[in-house]
A = this chain, B = another copy of it.
Amino acid sequence: MPHFHIEYSGNLEGVVDMGALCEAIRAAAAQIETFPMAGIRVRATRVDHYAIADGNAKHGFVDLSVRLREGRAPEVKQDAIAQIFEAMKDFLVPVMATRSIALSAEMRDIDAALSPKCGTIRDHLTAAD
């Protein structure tokens, strides 16, 4: 935890650099005290079939879901999602100036009793490549 998952409409491929957007969100998340850096996982997937609003093919969307282990105070979560959304919006403002895009985010808790995890990332954080 935390998990950040972006879905975006296929008509934004080649218009938005999604790898760079993932990195921008990762960097923003790493600055937020409540998120342990080693647990940050940002990803983006393109959807090729979609139908938006009135069905016009020119519409697009970028939708972010954030999931994190339960236990943070509501105001901590509100601050965190606001900062992440700001980073996402800053990244997308230029393309939104000319295109029809819906931008959205959601944050929700993960049940701590039902979310096992393990891993080797911490072992590889300080090792030379």
Question: Cβ of B115 and Cβ of A101 under 8 Å apart?
Answer: no
Question: Cβ of A108 and Cβ of B114 under 8 Å apart?
Answer: yes
Q: What is the distance, in angstroms, from A111's C-beta to the closest C-beta of chain B?
A: 6
Question: Cβ of B105 and Cβ of A119 under 8 Å apart?
Answer: no
Question: Cβ of A50 and Cβ of B42 under 8 Å apart?
Answer: yes
Seed contacts A9-B43, A21-B49; 5 additional CB < 8 Å A-B pairs:
A38-B53, A53-B121, A100-B121, A102-B119, A106-B114
Q: A: which residues have CB within 8 A of B?
A: 1, 3, 5-7, 9, 18-19, 21-23, 25-27, 30, 37-56, 58-59, 61, 63, 67, 74, 77-78, 81-82, 85, 89, 96, 99-108, 110-111, 113-121, 123-125, 129
